[in-house]
Every structure is written in structure tokens, then in C-alpha cells.
Structure 1
């Protein structure tokens, strides 16, 4: 990452201006963060979901979670996070300290200059608090991806991802070489403002993370010396191989002198095990419908419990729930600790899918309590 001056700490030490390595909080072995999908349950609106996201972000900040990310999805009625930059700007206005970021922006859906401008603006709104996580998948089905990109050449975007990434980083750093077609083009807000008469250099710019659910981004992140976030919550079988690939291919850079790997984990705590199972089943049914071409709003616990699952559907749901850490607060903590130890992850990013915001808020409170995170 040309021009990045992030510090070189060891895991668990937050370096000023770094924003990558999280500080261990409370009794947690690794930093804990939150990934929010702005889920919309039956009988709820997108406005309700966005208000819940603000509430969760405030709770996460109050309880000492390290960062709060939102993810780009499209054409999914139950997920209202199609515009991460817009949501992050709103969250920046309602929080003060917690890091905010994308987990992630699907870069092939966008021109790199647009993303550099959006996240430069976010950095200006919340200096030193913004992460730019990038993925190469469309975050939707092929037809929607074609509509987003105004092209049916969908593989082109994924295949060109390393070039798009390099272009985006050049825009963020404003360092295209002389003679490059974009040398006179500048992402604003950005470093070019410091070279204008009376300009002052911003102290920060968003750190770039690579996201993935397979080996491609793991290897690329390692080669470039960037932090890596793996989607364990929907690709659990690939987690350890991808993290091994990332670490084995890692080359020290101006950003990191050692690998830093975060994993997304689906987890929900409740006051008793039965209630936790009741709540996570709503997310499992929602995912079942998505995977079978029937995306919709997140069902209620009552609907999920009454649904007549076929043997094949039950097998899918059981397999899905096997990778969701759920139960009482102590049970969830044990599951998260075991996962961190097994994978060697440097940070856990928890995502909770349930029908209502109340269950998700309660779940994060219980996890914070289990880890002894601050209550003020």
C-alpha cells in the first residue's frame, strides 16, 4: 500500500493512526468486533433495521468492541445494506470512538475512483476511524451484478480485481506516476488537498483490508502485506486453509510487518440455550430460502419453528447451525475462544442474525458481559 504510514505493532497493541491491530479488551484473548448486515425482519421496515444498526453500533462502542462494519448486499429483501458508505456516514454521526468500516465493499461493482472519494469523505467525517474492506464477489446474483455494472461480463470484474485494487490504492494515496492517464485525476477528499496553497495534510487515510471466503484474496492479501478478513460465517470449511495460505504468502509491507487475520463469526447469545436456538433458526431459514432462490425478509421465530422442513432442507439447516456459535453467554464465549484458538485468528468479528433487533442487542450485551468488557 504505497504511501501508508501505519504503525508496526504486535497483535493486541493499537498503534496511533494504524487502525488495523485491535486492542484486547476485558478478558478476551483477541479483540472482538461487530459485523452488521442491517437485517430486516418480517413486520419491520428498512427504517427499523437502520435504527437497530445505530443502536448496535452505540452498544458496541459503549461496551468496548473494537470496530463495527457493514457489508454490501443487493436485491435481498432481508438485508438493507446495499449502500455501505451511506450507512457508515450515518453511523459516524451517531458514534464517537469505535472504528467503522466496510466488510466489505464489492469493488468490481464500482469504479475505484468512486470508492476512493466515498471513503475519503468518510475519513473526513470520522478522522482515524474508517476501515475500507474490499471483496471481489458481487454480493448478489449474476443478473443483479450485471445490472449494477451495466455489463454481462461478470468474470471480468473478478479477474481484474488486483488491477482494480492497485488503481484504488493509487487514488487513495494520490501517487499515480507521471505519464499515467490518471496522473492528473485526484480523489477528493484526499492527499491532493495538502498540495494546494494553504493545504494541510490529513493525518489519516482509511486502511485497506482484503476480504474473502476462499484462497484468492488470502494469497493476494498476503502478497501485498495487507490485513485479511475471512468469512468463516458462511465458508467455515475453508477458514483454516485460507488463513494458512495468507500467513504462508505474507510479505512484510509498509502497513504490516506480520500477518493480521480477522474472521467473521455468526454468534448469538441469549438468556437460555432454548431461546438462542429459537432465534438463530430464523437466520437459518432465511439462508435456506436465499440459497434456494427464494430470498425474503427474516422470518419470525414462530414461523421458523413451524416451518415444515424437508429432509434435504433439514440437513442444510443443521449444517448451517453447526457453524453458528449460540447458547448462553458462557457457552458462546467458550465457542468463540475455541474458534480463536483453532484458527489462530487475531480478531473475531461477530455477526448476529435474528428476526428482531431486541434479540441481537441482548446477544451483544451478554457476550460483552461474558468477556468482562466495560459497561460504561
Structure 2
């Protein structure tokens, strides 16, 4: 694996800083507005020297617009110049591996050296929607087999006797260059395994792949997962030593109270999701006026505790503490709030607190 896939540290940050995006469509915001806000956010993080910009995959959720990471990434290729773009992640059980290999082979051909393929095994949705997506027996229990098939398509490396063998190829890909009699110019996107438990951590270690942990979902599993990954890591042709990204939910604002209001609104949306209701982030005003039961307040406080909240300096101090605790090679932040302007301001404050410079055009 080329060292260029790793992030560059700017300013006083102890490790490279990256962005994960859901393209939130909170109450009162349309999908068009959410996507436009994500494009502007990508402009901002590209100018400020963040390491990468990953897009999550979610389905059947009116509050999250990123149902197709490859489509949004294709737009962001032309909107950015420096930053690495990727999926955080593609939920492999939802797709035939050939489709994922073709989509990311096309993205890698559009932006050579700037595309990451983050792979997850969760559905990114509820069970009924997963059934509608999959239309068959493919499921997370077959994840290792699906992953091996994806890698074989990306590298055009099926073994002799495989039914796909010389008959099925991912295009764009290495086979296309070889077939045309020219040196192989295709540089396949690096594969990252994503997870919020020990399962993907252990698989990433066995394969010698980089690993990204979703602490914004399950920070209680963080220490165990990283221990599994590092203690069982086997060097590979892709990576000679462990490389870890830790993703954390954040909300920074000029006024600490506003940061708390935005984060509480997001946690309210997660409370609705836990109740089987549509995951829509209400406005801060709606969240403040809601008549909570004791149980609902407990659920919101549980989710809120996972978010790093405060002004820019307070949030970066918490990020620094987590990086020191975990020795993460890279930190990824997911701004969790209702309002696009608040999400953009949170990103700016984090960059300012770390002294990350504006990059020249």
C-alpha cells in the first residue's frame, strides 16, 4: 500500500484530521439543501488541509441523504483538489461485490490516488429495508466471502477454476489495461475495514488492512477493538504495520450553549431511531420544547455523552485526549447537529483551534 493513502498532519493537531459526512437533512431542510451543504463542506475541508472526506451509507432514513456514496463522491471529485475522498463506508452485504468494484474502479479512474474504499458489514438501515436492498440470501454472515470476491475483482486475481475466472472483470480495472496491451496504469483504491466492534477489527488484522473504528456509535467498544486489531495484525502487501482511524462525534460552536443545543437535537433524532421512528433531527427549538419521559431523556443523554461538545478549544482538547488514549494514527470527526451553518462553523473552529492553514489554490 502506498504511503500516500495516509493523512498529513497540519498545524498543532497530534494526528491527521479527517471528516465523515451524513449529509444531514434535519427538520425543515430538503435533500437538495443537505447535498448542497455537503458540497460546501467538502470545499471547506479541502481548503483547510483535512486529510480525507468520507461519505456514509444509509437507507430509508429521511434525515440522512447519503444513500449512494459513489454518486456523491463522483460529484465531489470535481469539487475538490487535494483531499482524499471515500466511503465510510459501503455496506458490502447490500451489493454484489462486482458492482462495488466497478463503481470504485470508475471513481479511482476519475481521481487517481484520491479514492478510498471503506467497507462495512452492517446494513446501514433496518432489517426490512435490508431485505428490499438485497433481494436474496446475501447477508452479513457471508461477509468474509463477499470481501474476498471484491478484492479479487479489484485486483483481477481470481484463482484458476473460479467460475468468474477469465470471463468476468471489473471495468475500469487492471484487466482492461492488460487487455489493451499497455502497462497497467490502474491504481485500485485502498480498502479499509470499518467497524464498531471487534469483528471487523480482527478481520482487518488478519488481512493486514487499515482499520477505522466508529466511536461515534460505540465508544464503549473502542479499547477492545483496537487491542484486537493491533495485537493480531499481520503485515501484508498492503500495509506493513497497523493503521487506525478513530471516528468521533463532535459539535463545536462559538457559544458553548449553542453547541449543546445542536448536539441535543441530533441525540433527539437518535432517540427517535431507537423507538423505531424516522430518524429526523429536529430543530434545536423543537428539541427543547419536547415533553420528554424519563426514559427518553435517558436515551438522549446516552447518545449525547458520545459527542464532544464545546467551543473549538474544548472540542480539540477532547480529540487530543482520545488520540493520546488510543494512539490513533488519524482522527475523523462527524459534526452532529441540525443546522448546516452550525456544522460548517464547527469544522472551521476545529481547524482554527489546530492552526490548520488555508491551502493555496
Pair in the same fold by TM > 0.5: yes
1:23 maps to what in 2?
A: 8
1:101 maps to what in 2?
A: 86
- Preserved contact between residue 63 and residue 373 of structure 1 (Cα < 8 Å): yes
Q: Which moved more, 1:241-250 or 1:292-301?
A: 292-301
1:235 maps to what in 2?
A: 218
Provide, for residues 196-225 of structure 1, a one-character-per-residue CA deviation record: whole Å limited to 9, x for no partner.
Answer: 234342252100000111111000000100
**Aligned alpha-carbon RMSD (Å):** 1.1
Any stretches of 5+ residues in structure 1 without a counterpart?
Answer: 1-5, 8-14
- Preserved contact between residue 47 and residue 358 of structure 2 (Cα < 8 Å): yes
SS in 2 for 1:26: coil
Residue 51 (1) aligns with residue 10 (2) = no
1:62 maps to what in 2?
A: 47
- Preserved contact between residue 177 and residue 184 of structure 2 (Cα < 8 Å): yes
1:308 maps to what in 2?
A: 291
Q: Return the alpha-carbon distance in structure 1 between the equivalents of residues 70 and 43 of structure 2.
A: 18
Aligned with 1:193 (options 165, 176, 189) = 176
1:318 maps to what in 2?
A: 301
Aligned with 1:174 (options 127, 150, 156) = 156
Any stretches of 5+ residues in structure 2 without a counterpart?
Answer: none
TM normalised by structure 2 equals 0.97
Aligned with 2:147 (options 165, 170, 189) = 165
SS in 1 for 2:217: coil
- Preserved contact between residue 15 and residue 330 of structure 2 (Cα < 8 Å): yes
Q: Return the alpha-carbon distance in structure 1 between the equivalents of residues 188 and 104 of structure 2.
A: 9
TM normalised by structure 1 equals 0.93
2:196 maps to what in 1?
A: 213
SS in 1 for 2:139: helix
Provide, for residues 225-277 of structure 1, a one-character-per-residue CA deviation record: whole Å limited to 9, x for no partner.
Answer: 00001110010100110010111110001111110111110011100111110
1:11 maps to what in 2?
A: none
Provide, for residues 127-159 of structure 1, a one-character-per-residue CA deviation record: whole Å limited to 9, x for no partner.
Answer: 1100000001111000000010113x4xx5111
2:123 maps to what in 1?
A: 138
- Preserved contact between residue 16 and residue 329 of structure 2 (Cα < 8 Å): yes
Deviation at 1:313, TM superposition (A): 1.1
Q: Return the alpha-carbon distance in structure 1 between the equivalents of residues 238 and 328 of structure 2.
A: 18
Q: How does 1:272-287 map to 2 (within 5 A)?
A: 272-287=255-270
